[in-house]
Structure 1
């Protein structure tokens, strides 16, 4: 997020760079703001937002041009656990609502299992896929899934594969 631009102007930036008209940019940005739950914060600057709200604004900026696939590299790594879990749920809701797909890179096994339909485990060097796990849980996923025995079992299997990859 550019610190000198408001939330709205940051979100409009991608559409602006694509040559979208001013009126269309405004509409696209407001739609994305509403979708991620930032209504009322459009005229705030990044420094006035919490970490979770900044992540929502970044997500809204990405939503503006309606990509088919999102690439996430540790998007919630710097957030506290509760905020991180809320944003996981919000992201899953948006993906289901809008029909997006995502490639999610994370060091959190529980996050990988909760967010995914498939988890791939990679070795350190050379980077190779050393494990593949189909995740059997249906969408939408309830927060309580994290406490089910099958969830813990899959997390354990992924952990074992990861530990083997690091040896």
Structure 2
């Protein structure tokens, strides 16, 4: 049995603030908050779930999107756009009535910022559970299986080119 629920979106966000970077010297830059430039976003959202047999089930959700930004009021390049897909997927396997395993995948695609973009991120988690009795279980989980949880922001403006990377060090196992 499968269930699905597609929908479409179109929006022009106007109430959030955004970060902008500026060069202070050869070795320093500063980040300040300001009202965002004109943005337009839209896409197609979906989710599905169901069983692939008596012991295997899945869920899948995501959105195909486009985003457009005009940051010329901030001194950055004019109109820019991107398309992408954000996804979340889970696969659950019920080995026995007491044992289960799961693998999950999450993807956050490239996002535009007023002065550049943030790279895509993919994340894979796996886990298993053994139930000894209804009130006692043992769970084993590996988070970020491929050690890919990082945020990479690119600033590309006339006065500043910068790549900022933030990693989540230490996987949980």
Pairwise same-fold verdict (TM > 0.5):
no
Q: TM-score, normalised by structure 1?
A: 0.25
Relative contact order higher in (CA < 8 Å, ≥ 6 apart): 1
Larger Rg: 2
Higher helix share goes to which structure? 1
Q: TM-score, normalised by structure 2?
A: 0.25
